[in-house]
Amino acid sequence: MKQSEYADRIAATDSSMLAELFIASSDPKNISFAGGYPDQTLFPAQALQDSFTKAIQAGAPGIYQYTDAKGPIDLRSILAQRHLARTNVQTSTDEILITQGGQQAIDLIARLFLNKHSGLGVEAPTYMGAISAFNTYEPTYFEIPLETDGLDVAYLEQQLKSHRGANRIRLMYVIPDFQNPTGVTLSVLKRQRLAQLAREYDFYILEDSPYRDLRYSGEDLPTIQSFDTDGRVLYVSSFSKILSPGLRVGYIQAAPELITELAGLKSSADVQSPNMTLEALATFLNENSIDDHINRMKPIYAAKRDAMINALHEYLPATVTFTKPDGGFFLWLQAPQNVNLLKFLKEILMPEANIVYVPGQPQFATSISMNTARLNFSNVPLEKIEPAVKRMAELLNKYL
């Protein structure tokens, strides 16, 4: 088997290091700050089981047949109502496409807009699963640095000014709320400015917001989409973080003509998602309050975040800085320039302490970053956070 027989896009992604990491991450002898997993003790298992039973019984035999690429109308109708309630943007069922989690939404939107070498704006760093989806379409990346209040909009504007026409940014990928991997939140003024820039410089925005509902401090901010007057924002969300990732349900809310195109692309990608999980989710949302469920989870995740931040404060060397997110699942470590956090992970932290995190490098579309790492706090038992951070900090101190 010759590697050269694969398409060029395959060479672009070396997934072996990540594969190794995720094996280590799911090994029960390790403490994992690596994955992006929700805490599985919080899944409402009984209510979900009841929803599956009820939905499948009520839907048979049609539930076993082919149906509609967009997803069932009852679920889209619930999501339209929820979109209004959560983001203050009025919408309807023909503006919603159900996707196989947020991941498929990203893949389909990239497929709609990106030719090879099309300009794609991304935060630096950004969600590594999005990078791997985008690599499929071989775009030209424009990395936009992150500031404490989100992406550097002035830098983006410079890039927009100096790359016009065919070389322009056609799509900007943004995670505005408790960004993966940094935990940073985009300010209101920058959200508003981004929507203006999209109109001025003729590009689309993929607003990816799977963590929006998981805010532990501060106030909800308006979505980028709420400032959009021109149908240029495609809003993506998911039930993976707030309910269950095993369900694989996300959605895109966008202008109806975009949704029609994206539904065609969904057909060509996988025909449709399974009816059973979609109808079970519709039943769950009809018969349970997902907001009550989210409100029960928030203090638990907030306590984990606080435990991690407090321990980092107490034990980390002062030269290593970290973010303090208002929500979501992650925070971001930054060590002095000469410190290699990938090497530290592989040579010391994993073998000596059975602790794993995701090194910064694979979370950048193009630039090199050896002195950074992402820490996840959602999926570690609360009582293990402080001792594991302490142990990591001790080893890092020795390493510096």
Residues 278-307 touching a copy of itself, rule: CB under 8 A, are 280
For the CB of residue 280, give the shortest distance to a copy of itself in the complex, in Å: 8
Q: Give the binding-site size for a copy of itself (rule: CB under 8 A).
A: 78
Contact region with a copy of itself (CB under 8 A), list: 36-44, 141-149, 186-194, 290-298:
36-44
Separation CA 130–CA 382 (nearest Å): 29
For the CB of residue 23, give the shortest distance to a copy of itself in the complex, in Å: 10
The residues, ordered by sequence, that sit 6+ positions from 75 with a Cβ below 8 Å of its Cβ are: 98, 278, 279, 281, 282, 285
For the CB of residue 106, give the shortest distance to a copy of itself in the complex, in Å: 9
**Residue 90 contacts a copy of itself per CB under 8 A:** no
SS3 281: helix
Which listed residue (21, 24, 31, 63) binds a copy of itself by CB under 8 A? 63
Contact region with a copy of itself (CB under 8 A), list: 58-66, 80-88, 144-152, 175-183:
58-66
Question: Do 399 and 390 meet the contact criterion of CB atoms below 8 Å apart?
Answer: no
Which amino acid appears at position 260 of this protein? T
Sign of CA dihedral 222, 228, 229, 232: negative
Residues between 2 and 21 that touch a copy of itself (CB under 8 A):
5-10, 13, 15, 19
Which listed residue (74, 147, 261, 386) binds a copy of itself by CB under 8 A? 261
Cα 261 to Cα 5, 227, 267, 326, 350, distances in angstroms: 31, 23, 10, 36, 46
Residues between 139 and 198 that touch a copy of itself (CB under 8 A):
170
Other C-beta atoms within 10 Å of 356: how many?
25
**Residue 129 contacts a copy of itself per CB under 8 A:** yes
Closer to a copy of itself by CB, 97 or 320: give it. 97
Which positions from 220 to 259 touch a copy of itself by CB under 8 A, shown as an x/- string?
A: -----------x--------x---xxxxx------x-xx-
Residues between 310 and 349 that touch a copy of itself (CB under 8 A):
none
What would the DSSP string read from start to end of 81-143?
HHHHHHH-----GGGEEEESHHHHHHHHHHHHHPPTT-EEEEEES--HHHHHHHHTT-PEEEE
For the CB of residue 25, give the shortest distance to a copy of itself in the complex, in Å: 10
Q: How many helices (H) and strands (E) does the chain have?
A: 14, 14
Phi and psi, residue 180, nearest 5°: -95, 115
For the CB of residue 58, give the shortest distance to a copy of itself in the complex, in Å: 11
**Residue 115 contacts a copy of itself per CB under 8 A:** yes
Closer to a copy of itself by CB, 275 or 361: give it. 275
Closer to a copy of itself by CB, 83 or 168: give it. 168
Copy the structure tokens of residue 318.
């002062």
Which amino acid appears at position 123 of this protein? E
Separation CA 149–CA 117 (nearest Å): 29
Question: Do 181 and 374 meet the contact criterion of CB atoms below 8 Å apart?
Answer: yes
Closer to a copy of itself by CB, 110 or 320: give it. 110
For the CB of residue 378, give the shortest distance to a copy of itself in the complex, in Å: 12
First vs last Cα of the chain: how many Å apart? 43
Which listed residue (179, 273, 334, 361) binds a copy of itself by CB under 8 A? 273
For the CB of residue 216, give the shortest distance to a copy of itself in the complex, in Å: 22
